[in-house]
Amino acid sequence: MERSDFSLSVPGDVCAPAGFRAAGLHCGIKKQKPDLALLYSEEPTTTAAAVFTTNRVQAAPVRYCRELMAGGRARAIVVNSGNANACTGAQGMRDAREMASLAAGALSLEPSEVLVASTGIIGVPLRMEPLREGIPRAARELERTGDAAAEAILTTDRFPKTASARVQVGGGTVTIGGMAKGAGMIHPKMATTLGFLTTDARIGAEGLQRALRTAIDRSFNRITVDGETSTNDSVFLLASGAADAPALEGEEALGRFTEALTGVAERLARMVPLDGEGATRLVRVRVEGARSADEARAGAYRVANSLLVKTALRGGDPNWGRVMAALGDAGIEIEEEKTDIWIDDLPLVRNGLGVSGSVEKGRELLQAEDREEAVDLRIALNLGTGEASVWTCDLGEEYVRINVAYN
Residues in the chain: 407
Give me the catalytic one of 119, 155, 162, 192: 192
Distance CA 316, CA 112 (A): 51
Q: How far is CA 205 from CA 245, 301, 307, in A?
A: 17, 32, 41
> Exposed, middle or buried, 357 (CB in 10 Å: 0-12/13-18/19+)?
exposed
Give every CB contact of residue 135 below 8 A, 6+ residues apart in sequence.
27, 36, 38, 78, 99, 102, 103, 106
Distance CA 387, CA 244 (A): 39
Beta carbons of 98 and 136 less than 8 angstroms apart: no
DSSP 199-259: E-----HHHHHHHHHHHHHHTGGGB-SSS---SS-EEEEEE---SSS----SHHHHHHHHH
192 is catalytic: yes
* Residue 186 three-state SS: coil
| Biggest alpha carbon–alpha carbon distance for the chain | 69
Beta carbons of 83 and 102 less than 8 angstroms apart: no
Q: How far is CA 235 from CA 52, 198, 403, in A?
A: 7, 11, 24
Q: Please list the active-site residues.
A: 192
